[in-house]
């Protein structure tokens, strides 16, 4: 068993990095909401907001397969292993040049064809009722599709910096994108109309690359392209990329099947699902994605060093802190779902019944908040360990269970709520299967500390739930009046103390996440 090298970050350092990513992600999500609000305020009345959002979703979804999602899951473990073996040598640099070259080899022809054949492409995947909007979508597509190259190069930089334990710059980088889009729309929309967003998107893409470049250069990397694709490590990335794409595609299919089922139910069911997921993804993106971002390269290095003890500790650490953060978040979302959705969305045509339905769907998803977080984290453990088949098999099982339960529950009195419950049950099963496989692969995982964290989180949930329930009982059904300044004040009056209760309880109970942050002594 090899010893972890001195430069390997302590768990306290990893915790601090996780908090930095969380705070940055939270700020990014807030700016993302502001960006959506600006688009709606400036273009919503003319219906051009629909064109902008749907066209921008095309390159935004493609990046999950070609950049940030699947490719990063295959790229980071291999690069991390090469950094362990040859930290200052040429191999990691050559590998990054290969990946950058791959992006250009794949994307330049795609972009060229997209620009030339924009109209038939848009006519195939979008179907606006007005010919003018369809033509506008095709014209915007010619500009916005170029964002795919910029975000793909940015993703390589993010993966490289993360593999070297650099998290701050990649974490704040999305802020520049939202700022660029907001500023561009506000300053240019009178002259350029909807094309002001295209300017903002492209400028934001350039900024995402530019902001990370100095740190990238300081580590000894550059933007030279290497087309020598006989590199065995590069070929390993390509082999691993395919099963990750397959797993990602399964979850995309899963979401589309759920929306298809919802479309066959009562009016408003599909919107209830998408609105519930919008709020569900806020704590998931802040907490789960942040922990996984920091621990994924760490686990990749530990596997490269044959450090099984370190891997066990990282897996146990990740699961403990996911539970400590996601369980209180799930309780708050489940108990305050109506109030949150009403304050955020209930105005105009969005009436009380839509808030009520979306909140019940949200409760169903909250049951699986920790399960989905654990599932995603354990997926990354297997990717870090070079095992891409186990996550794919479990993803298929999860999909089958989700669809089977959905077919049954949507025909019961639960209706669309049954779809969210089916999703939570399926991912709980999937998470347990991945945990069992990880337990066997590691020769056991210490569960005593995890059990202690579960107990402390359970003790914290009791006063948290009691406070929220008491507040609701004393203040009545104020949420039915929707998005008003007074209701925002009431939501703040219950939300801020709820977060304070969790923090104070965790401090009093000496929950490990808080203790690790506050500890002055760096422990390995």
pLDDT for 478-491, tens place per residue?
Answer: 999 988 999 999 99
Do 223 and 255 share a domain, yes or no? no
Q: CB-based contacts of 32: which residues, under 8 Å, 6+ apart?
A: 178
The CA-to-CA distance between both ends of the chain, in Å, stands at 16
d(CA 122, CA 140): 10
The per-residue pLDDT for 4 is: 42
d(CA 243, CA 394): 12
Long-range contacts of 112-116 (CB under 8 A, 24+ apart): 114/141, 114/142, 114/145, 115/142, 115/145
Q: Considering 206, 229, 252, which residue would you say is the last residue of a domain?
A: 229
% the chain with pLDDT above 90: 38
DSSP SS3 for 231: coil
Residue 236 covered by a domain: no
d(CA 406, CA 343): 30
The per-residue pLDDT for 465 is: 96
CB 454 within 8 A of CB 323: yes
Give the single-character DSSP code of 411: T
Residue 237 covered by a domain: no
Residue 183 covered by a domain: yes
Gyration radius (Cα) of the chain, Å? 23
DSSP assignments along 412-452, one per residue: STTTHHHHHHHHHHHHHHHHHHHHHHHHHHTT----HHHHH
Do 42 and 143 share a domain, yes or no? yes
CB 144 within 8 A of CB 198: yes
Confidence of residue 522 (pLDDT cuts 50, 70, 90): very low
Tell me the average pLDDT of the chain: 85
d(CA 278, CA 11): 31
Judged by average pLDDT, the poorest of 318-322, 441-445, 500-504, 514-518 is 514-518
Residue 300 covered by a domain: yes
Residue 234 covered by a domain: no
Calculate mean pLDDT across residues 334-360: 87
Decide which of 80 and 199 is more confident.
Answer: 199
Q: How many helices (H) and strands (E) does the chain have?
A: 20, 0
Residue 19 covered by a domain: yes
Do 335 and 450 share a domain, yes or no? yes
Do 77 and 133 share a domain, yes or no? yes
d(CA 457, CA 374): 16
The per-residue pLDDT for 516 is: 66
Do 444 and 492 share a domain, yes or no? yes
Do 296 and 152 share a domain, yes or no? no
Number of domains in the chain: 2
Do 175 and 261 share a domain, yes or no? no
Calculate mean pLDDT across residues 325-332: 95
Residue 239 covered by a domain: no
Residue 281 has pLDDT above 60, yes or no: yes
Do 270 and 387 share a domain, yes or no? yes
Decide which of 368 and 72 is more confident.
Answer: 368
Q: Considering 229, 257, 272, which residue would you say is the last residue of a domain?
A: 229
Do 206 and 319 share a domain, yes or no? no
Do 262 and 191 share a domain, yes or no? no
The per-residue pLDDT for 521 is: 45
Confidence of residue 72 (pLDDT cuts 50, 70, 90): confident
Residue 46 has pLDDT above 60, yes or no: no
Closest by Cα among 172, 143, 137 to 158? 172
Residue 3 has pLDDT above 50, yes or no: no
In this structure, what are the phi and psi dihedrals at residue 112, rounded to the nearest 5 degrees? -60, -45
Do 224 and 335 share a domain, yes or no? no
Domain hosting residue 20, numbered range: 1-229
Closest by Cα among 241, 270, 272 to 68? 241
d(CA 241, CA 12): 32
Do 261 and 398 share a domain, yes or no? yes
Decide which of 212 and 261 is more confident.
Answer: 212
Q: Considering 175, 195, 229, which residue would you say is the last residue of a domain?
A: 229
Residue 388 covered by a domain: yes
């Amino acid at each position: 068993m090899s010893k972890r090298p001195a430069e390997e970050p302590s768990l306290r350092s990893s915790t601090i990095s996780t908090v930095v990513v969380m705070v940055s992600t939270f700020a990014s999500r807030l700016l993302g909401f502001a960006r959506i609000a600006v688009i709606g305020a400036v273009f919503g009345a003319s219906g051009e907001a629909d064109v902008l959002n749907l066209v921008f979703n095309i390159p935004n979804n493609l990046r999950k397969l070609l950049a940030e999602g699947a490719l990063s899951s295959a790229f980071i473990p291999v690069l991390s292993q090469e950094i362990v073996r040859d930290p200052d040598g040429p191999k990691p640099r050559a590998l990054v040049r290969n990946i950058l070259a791959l992006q250009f080899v794949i994307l330049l022809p795609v972009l060229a064809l997209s620009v030339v054949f924009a109209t038939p492409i848009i006519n195939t995947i979008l179907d606006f009722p007005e010919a003018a909007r369809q033509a506008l979508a095709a014209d915007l597509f010619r500009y916005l599709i170029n964002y795919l190259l910029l975000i793909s190069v940015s993703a390589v930089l993010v993966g490289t910096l993360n593999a070297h334990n650099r998290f701050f710059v990649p974490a704040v980088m999305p802020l520049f994108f939202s700022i660029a889009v907001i500023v561009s729309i506000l300053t240019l929309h009178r002259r350029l109309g909807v094309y002001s967003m295209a300017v903002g998107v492209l400028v934001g893409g350039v900024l995402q690359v530019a902001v990370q470049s100095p740190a990238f250069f300081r580590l000894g990397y550059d933007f030279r392209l290497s087309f020598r694709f006989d590199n065995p490590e590069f070929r390993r990335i390509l082999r691993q990329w395919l099963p990750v794409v397959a797993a990602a595609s399964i979850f995309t299919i899963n979401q589309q099947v759920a929306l298809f089922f919802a479309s066959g139910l009562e009016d408003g069911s599909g919107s209830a699902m998408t609105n519930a997921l919008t709020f569900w993804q806020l704590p998931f993106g802040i907490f789960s994605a942040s922990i996984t971002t920091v621990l994924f390269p760490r686990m990749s290095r530990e596997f490269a060093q044959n450090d099984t003890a370190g891997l066990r500790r990282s897996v146990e650490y990740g699961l403990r802190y996911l539970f400590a953060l996601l369980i209180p978040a799930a309780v708050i979302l489940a108990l305050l779902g109506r109030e949150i959705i009403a304050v955020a969305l209930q105005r105009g045509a969005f009436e009380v019944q839509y808030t009520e339905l979306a909140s019940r769907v949200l409760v169903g998803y909250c049951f699986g908040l920790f399960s989905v977080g654990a599932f995603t984290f354990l997926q990354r453990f297997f990717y870090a360990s070079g095992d891409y088949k186990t996550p794919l098999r479990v993803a298929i099982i999860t999909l089958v269970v989700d669809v089977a339960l959905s077919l049954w529950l949507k025909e019961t009195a639960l209706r669309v709520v049954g779809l969210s419950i089916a999703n939570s049950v399926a991912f709980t099963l999937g998470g347990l299967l991945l945990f069992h496989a990880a337990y066997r692969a590691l020769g056991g995982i210490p569960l005593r500390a995890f059990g202690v964290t579960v107990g402390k989180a359970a003790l914290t949930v009791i006063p948290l739930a009691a406070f929220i329930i008491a507040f609701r009982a004393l203040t009545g059904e104020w949420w039915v009046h929707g998005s008003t300044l007074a209701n925002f004040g009431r939501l703040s009056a219950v939300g801020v103390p709820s977060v304070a209760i969790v923090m104070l309880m965790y401090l009093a109970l000496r929950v490990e996440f808080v203790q690790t942050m506050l500890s002055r002594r760096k422990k390995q």
